[in-house]
Structure 1
Amino acid sequence: MPALQQPLHTGTAPSAPAWPRVLLLVLAVGQVISSLASQAAGTELTTPDRPGEPPIVPISWAFSIWGVIELLSLLYAVWALPDRRPDKRLRSELAVPLSIVFAGFSCWLVAAEVEPVWTTVVVFAVMVAGLLKALQIALRSRAAIAKWPRPARWLIWWTIGIYSGWSTMAIWINLTTSMAASGAPVSGTWGISGQLAVLAGATATAVVIVRWTNGLVPYTLAACWALTTAALGAADAGETLLAAAAAAGLCITAATAVHARRHFRAPAPRP
């Protein structure tokens, strides 16, 4: 009897599902639409210099960075969709946490109107968790991403980096505004002390992630943007101590990034 034929193993990985990348594109478009709708409606979140805000809330024009984030997210989602692009499985893997982030953004805009006190903090926490997971996947896959076309490499690192840098700082500010909305003081000894603690937490977060990412430039720039505009917001409110603390956080974050990049690029010592 003829021997039973064994199935051929070509070594090719199973095809990655396309639905995460399709969903990512839909949600990236959703980010833009929800943001435009929020601005057109003149909702609470898009109203600058709201009364009762803590002094460390970034100056009003700082939030224009959301437009950059939305555009980068959309461009990356468009590029990542076709099957013919390199590393389909990696793109689908990245699409899962990024879809959570993009969906969270639209939910955050709604939560800011419906129940802005603590729901926004919870939504932001979920977004940050998704961004950190996407960063973990991208850092683990540095070698594969390095083989992508230059525009694609630029898109993935800048999308995740700027989104993560701004969001990991903004969640601290969001925490402060939620506490203020709950009745916590924004001035006096307790109010200033609480905001100093928030700035310390934001700076520590930035330092940890900068070190983890080996000084990823987009992350560093976005985190420094947040701290710079927080310093300007505090200075505009006449709170010199808070402005100085935010500026100190900026300097610490930038110095950490320079050190991390030098260490990352340093040649291995010869035996």
Structure 2
Amino acid sequence: MAPLARVSGPITWLAVILAVAQVVAPVVPFSGIGASPNESTTDLLITPAGWTFSIWSLIYLLSVVFALAVVWKGATGTADPRRLLIDLEIAFAGAAIWILVSAAEWTWVTPIVLTVMTVVLLDAARIAARPADDEAPGWLRVLARILVGIYAAWATAAVFQNWAAAIGADLADPESLGWQLTVLILCGLFGLAVTAAVGSVLVAYPLTLIWAFLGIPATAQGETTAVVWVAVVTIVALVVTTGATFVLRRRRLDRAPAVA
């Protein structure tokens, strides 16, 4: 196996700076400058309960810890540390920018920013799910996979919600069920596809999506039964798909020839 891939220099410290920047950015709207995220978005029938958004605190914490660990160890726990770090730096910067454009209530800019974040985070998920060097510290590999899994999954849920919010603000009736169910189903199918691809390694991805979808029945219960059922079916499908990926991965590992 190839030696541990290393990364060092300004790119590692940039990760720390941007990880901190995304933590600091929410101070702007919450200090009264512009609208807060919940004020600048359109309330929809498929909007998750407010408590689901507390996951940002975990994302912020893991981002800072991981960035500092990269500076310390000069590695990311993956075979392509530079690309992973660039992906995460774009995501960190995007999260800070998203807060600022949300505060400015630029309705159509926020989903564009989240789309960019989702693309780079899914690329990071692809890298993190690959086999890593045995020389990499085990805790660093685990940390990378947890951070990337959670961040990529939350971006997946958020990008569909943000596009729906933009559509509901200017193009469609935010009280109309049909188009919102379509968005919710597309989000679920997209998440299931990613889970099938990387869920056996990045288990934090399906778990975070389940967290997001749990918040939808919490607000839709008693109002829109169809939304509740789509969310519940998606959660069950995520659990089944994750379990299936584990079984298939275990079978592949059992069949793989032993390395001397």
- TM bucket, shorter chain: 0.7 to 0.9
1:234 maps to what in 2? 220
Give the TM-score of the pair, scaled to structure 1.
0.84
| Equivalent residue, structure 2, for 1:41 | 32
SS at match of 2:25: helix
Matched with 2:144 is 156
Maintained 8 Å contact 2:7/2:75: no
Q: Distance in 2 between matches of 1:120 and 1:179?
A: 12
> In the alignment, which residue of structure 2 is the partner of 1:262?
247
Letter in 2 for 1:160: V
Of 15, 29, 37, which aligns to 2:20?
29
**What amino acid maps onto 1:209 in structure 2?**
V
Counterpart CA distance in 1 for 2:17 and 2:256 is 48
The answer to whether the 8 Å contact 2:43/2:174 transfers is: yes
Aligned match of 2:62: 72
RMSD after superposition: 2.7
Residues 16 and 89, structure 1, Cα contact 8 Å, conserved in 2 = no
Q: Which residues in structure 2 correspond to 1:90-105 (within 5 Å)?
A: 90-105=80-95
Hey, which bits of structure 1, 4+ residues long, moved more than 4 A? Answer: 11-17, 83-89
Alignment match, 2:10: 19
2:194 is the counterpart of 1:209: yes
CA distance in 2, matches of 1:16, 1:183: 46
SS in 2 for 1:82: helix
CA deviations on 1:126-167 (whole Å, 9 max, x unpaired) are 001110121122223x232x5432321221011100001111
- Partners of 1:76 and 1:255 lie apart in 2 by 30
Unaligned runs of 5+ in 1: 1-10
Q: Which one is further off, 71-80 or 209-218?
A: 209-218
Residue 106 (structure 1) aligned with residue 96 (structure 2): yes
Structure showing greater Rg: 1
Residues 41-97 of structure 1, C-alpha deviation per residue, up to 9 Å, x if partnerless? 38534447x895111111011100011101011100000013555779843332111
User: Do 1:30 and 1:106's aligned partners in 2 also have CA atoms closer than 8 Å?
Assistant: yes
Q: How does 1:246-257 map to 2 (within 5 A)?
A: 246-257=231-242
The residue type paired with residue 185 of structure 2 is A
Is 1:123 equivalent to 2:123 in the alignment? Answer: no
SS in 1 for 2:255: coil
Aligned-partner Cα distance in 2 for 1:258–1:14: 31
Distance 1:52-1:175 versus aligned 2 partners, 3 A rule: closer
What is the TM-score of this pair, normalised by structure 2? Answer: 0.87
CA–CA distance in structure 1, aligned partners of residues 191 and 117 of structure 2: 16
Q: Counterparts of 1:194-205 in structure 2 under 5 Å? A: 194-205=179-190
Tell me, yes or no, if the aligned pair for 1:230 and 1:246 is still in contact at 8 Å: yes
Deviations 1:26-46, CA, capped at 9 Å, x for gaps: 000101111244334385344
Give % identity: 26
Unaligned runs of 5+ in 2: none
Structure 1 Cα separation of the partners of residues 183 and 67 of structure 2: 33
Cα distance change of structure 1 residues 77 and 173 upon mapping to structure 2, 3 Å threshold: same
- The answer as to whether partners of 2:217 and 2:231 remain within 8 angstroms in 1 is yes
